[in-house]
Amino acid sequence: LKMICLCAFPGDLFSQLMRTDPSTIKGAEALMLGEMLTLPQNFGNIFLGETFSCYISVHNDSTKVVKDILVKADLQTSSQRLSLSASNSAVTELKPECCIDDVIHHEVKEIGTHILVCAVSYTTQFGEKLYFRKFFKFQVLKPLDVKTKFYNAETDEVFLEAQIQNITTSPMFMEKVSLEPSIMYNVTELNTVESGEEGESTFGKMSYLQPMDTRQYLYCLKPKPEYAEKAGVIKGVTVIGKLDIVWKTNLGERGRLQTSQLQRMAPGYGDIRLSLEMIPDTVNLEEPFDIICKITNCSERTMDLVLEMCNTRSVHWCGVSGRQLGKVGPSAFLSLPLKLLSSVQGLQSISGLRLTDTFLKRTYEYDDIAQVCVVCPFMNES
């Protein structure tokens, strides 16, 4: 008996020969069919997330009939041994010049050395039981380098930037890059530009990622309404979701990777969190303007709060300082409208709010809450 294995993924040796041959058209190594069928003892490389496909054929080269033929194919990795055989039952007999064929598929989920172990056992016409094996080794490499950055906004929104780099030697067609959020968040993709009725991708119409090139994908995660008002819950949430990446290479071979759950550093709000619900972008010099502050009790106890407003060199508060805000329970909040004006032009920082918990006699200071652009209304009249 003779065994033949044909594996459907690019062979590095063939690719290198095609690239270095001066008579070969540039880029032909990514298009030729010969690259897709290789039969060395060392297959070459395959990338994590791709599907390893192999055609196995056992051929009877003798002039005699053999019986009870059993073909097994196992894949040995650094951590486990997987059975890839489509059938574990033996073939009753195999006549001369006939063959047994099998096609196996396996989605590669580990990095490192993989060994395909093909074993054949059979019985001769004289009742002698024979057995032989063949080993085929290949490396599984990482196709993409993924880096993430998080930004925690004051409005409980989380912005995620995902940097994806193609670290293979061939171009990739990026079929899909999406973020599957955790149960507490809704996600909005920020990778399109409004153009007519349909949005246009920020990467253009041809979504190809060249070798060693990097793209930045941006997503905005917003707490679901049922969790948005639970300050203590959102404060401690670190799991954001996971990225799902699908690509195609060469003649349309598809690969897919999912990252593990992405973790952010939970923002530290302390006992009281002060955020802005409304603030104008631009205000007029020496004219009062309104803002709305949101005060949230992030502790596990009730607070009795007093508000003090301290003027700065450029920003002046309008109203009574030292007023009682009342009791605020755990995870509860209150909206606080305030009025102020600026006596200096330019980009001014809003500072000078003080909250005192009368129960513990503890004061919380809030400076540089936000910034507004102060302009002179008379400059444009001329």
The model's pLDDT over 87-104, given as tens digits with 9 standing for 90+, comes to 778 888 889 888 888 888
Distance CA 68, CA 120 (A): 10
Distance CA 263, CA 354 (A): 33
Going by DSSP bridges, is the β-strand pair 158-166/42-47 parallel, antiparallel, or unpaired? unpaired
State the pLDDT at residue 14. Answer: 47
Count of CB atoms within 10 A of residue 144's CB?
22
The model's pLDDT over 176-218, given as tens digits with 9 standing for 90+, comes to 899 999 888 899 998 888 766 666 778 877 778 899 999 999 9
Q: Where would I find the beta strands (DSSP E) of 95-156?
A: 99-107, 112-123, 129-141, 144-152
Q: Write the CA distances from 162 to 24, 48, 177, 242, integer angstroms.
A: 38, 19, 10, 11
Distance CA 48, CA 110 (A): 7
Q: Report the chain's mean pLDDT, rounded to a whole number.
A: 82
**φ and ψ at residue 320, rounded to 5 degrees:** -95, 125
**φ and ψ at residue 26, rounded to 5 degrees:** -60, 130
Please state which of the ranges 128-132, 146-150, 263-267, 310-314 shows the lowest mean pLDDT: 263-267
**How is residue 325 written in tokens?**
């805000």
Distance CA 298, CA 274 (A): 10
**How is residue 148 written in tokens?**
């993430």
State the pLDDT at residue 382. Answer: 47
The model's pLDDT over 337-355, given as tens digits with 9 standing for 90+, comes to 999 999 999 999 999 999 9
Distance CA 219, CA 187 (A): 7
- The average pLDDT across 253-277 equals 81
Q: Is 208 exposed, middle or buried (0-12, 13-18, 19+ CB in 10 A)?
A: middle
The model's pLDDT over 32-46, given as tens digits with 9 standing for 90+, comes to 433 344 444 455 578
Handedness of CA 62, 65, 69, 71 (dihedral sign): positive
Tell me if residue 373 falls in helix, strand or coil.
Answer: strand
